[in-house]
Amino acid sequence: MSQTNPPFMSGVPELLVLRLLARGEMYGYELVKAVRLVTGEAIALGEGVIYPVLHALERNGALKARRKAVNGRTRVYYTLTAKGQRRLERLGQEWKRVSSGVNAALGDAEHA
Amino acid sequence: MSQTNPPFMSGVPELLVLRLLARGEMYGYELVKAVRLVTGEAIALGEGVIYPVLHALERNGALKARRKAVNGRTRVYYTLTAKGQRRLERLGQEWKRVSSGVNAALGDAEHA
DNA sequence: TGAGATACCTGGAAGGGCGAGGTAAACTGA
DNA sequence: TCAGTTTACCTCGCCCTTCCAGGTATCTCA
């Protein structure tokens, strides 16, 4: 117990990565910070989460990687493929389904 | 792969069980169906999920169990303890935090 | 008698997040 | 110049949880 972002995180990193990459190509380290930003600091993902997700998605054909040297440093930029786009849509729907289910359960303080 | 309720489920069963028991005592089998109901069929939890959660929460002191014979069958009714109540509140906040973070990330189609 | 619902339970597989740790280059300020 | 921070990549192993499949027994209804 006592993780930084407790429960409710399964599948979330993948969804966030997909969502961010749908806006344009990014590299791993950049994603780590972007996640913090776009979630309003609500969610922080370490590199130990981001990189494995990136690699799994690439292996899966959802992302395409491209190495690029910037300032003498090497960055690996990722882009969404068509498959990744579909996956994002599917996951987005699942998220909506699950979260609205949970919210329905939480917000029924009175009625039977 | 190919679960009934894919991703986004970690911690959810526990939260739902806690939330339902906050309304009054229930037994395992009843919870299985109640979850389906209160989530508007969005989430279905099998007995193989509910019972382990119940046992873990009881071991943890969040629930108290009470055996009761009904119709010749034995039912185990669970009630929230004060500790369980606190846990529900904490988990509820975490849920809110994570889900609003995800929603913030999803709903920014245009602005940077 | 037999199917189906009720009611409990467990075990093992699988998946995934997370922290810790490791490398290396570039930049910053003292 | 040199130490510390930031950038940027990566992997390993722990741990927790969900899920399916399976198992037991009783009651009801046809």
Predicted local distance difference test score (pLDDT) of residue B2: 34
Predicted local distance difference test score (pLDDT) of residue A47: 98
* Res A53 pLDDT > 90: yes
Residue B51: name the closest of B74, B75, B28 by CA. Answer: B28
> Please, which residues have CB within 8 angstroms of residue B77's CB and are 6 or more apart in sequence?
B25, B26, B27, B65, B66, B67, B68
Strands of B63-70's sheet, edge to edge?
Answer: B26-27, B73-80, B63-70
Question: What span, in angstroms and rounded, lies between the C-alpha atoms of A73 and A2?
Answer: 35
Q: Is the dihedral of CA B37, B55, B83, B9 positive or negative?
A: negative
Closest alpha carbon to C1' of D10, residue = A51
Least confident of A54-63, A89-98, A103-112, B99-108: A103-112
* Nearest CB partner across the interface for B19, out of A6, A99, A105: A105
Q: Which is higher by pLDDT, B71 or B92? A: B92
* Nearest CB partner across the interface for A42, out of B14, B100, B106: B100
Measured in angstroms, the CA of A36 and the nearest CA of chain B are apart by 9
Predicted local distance difference test score (pLDDT) of residue B78: 98
Half-sphere exposure (CA, 13 Å, Cβ side) for B10? 12
pTM: 0.93
Please give the residue of chain A at the shortest CA–CA distance from B96: A103
A16 in Cβ contact with A43 (< 8 Å): yes
